[in-house]
Amino acid sequence: MCGICGIFNLNGEPASPIILRKMTDEIAHRGPDGEGFFVDSFIGLGHRRLAIIDLSPAGHQPMITLDGQYVLTYNGEVYNFQEIRAELESLGIQFRSKTDSEVVLYAYRQWGPKCVERFNGMFAFAIWDKTKQELFIARDRYGIKPLYYTFVNNYFLFASEQNIVL
């Protein structure tokens, strides 16, 4: 099932690792196989993992591209990820895992937000572009994988569940 969450401090102050930990703990039941955190200045991404496709540590999230520019927290399954992976490999991209998560990450790097038009599946994810300082969040067309968001004070918050408390 997995669980994702994030905090974006709109006033530019550092994202609180304490708040991010609290948010991630709230969705612990969504992913008993691991947890991960990424904090960089005013952005924080959290993840609770339920390992299904690639059970190895290579599937740990948040997942970062080799060049460090993009960071992903992802929940879901892209059914056609193997076809997309083959296309990305033909463009010279080398993968470290067998996960659909990594395919989503590199599809975004290759095609930007239009990558979601290629995905057949159920998903919710957030990608941080460190160079552009942009956060992109998306979910599947039918909302099978939940993605809730809100603005509280100077924070943009998102998560797989509504019961995230500060």
Q: CA 109, CA 93: separation in Å to the nearest integer?
A: 10
Angle, helix 100-111 to helix 81-90, in steps of 10 degrees: 50
- Residues 6 or more apart whose Cβ sits within 8 Å of residue 143: none
What residues are annotated to the active site? 2
**Residue entry with tokens 């290579």:** 58
Provide the token pair at 155: 């924070």
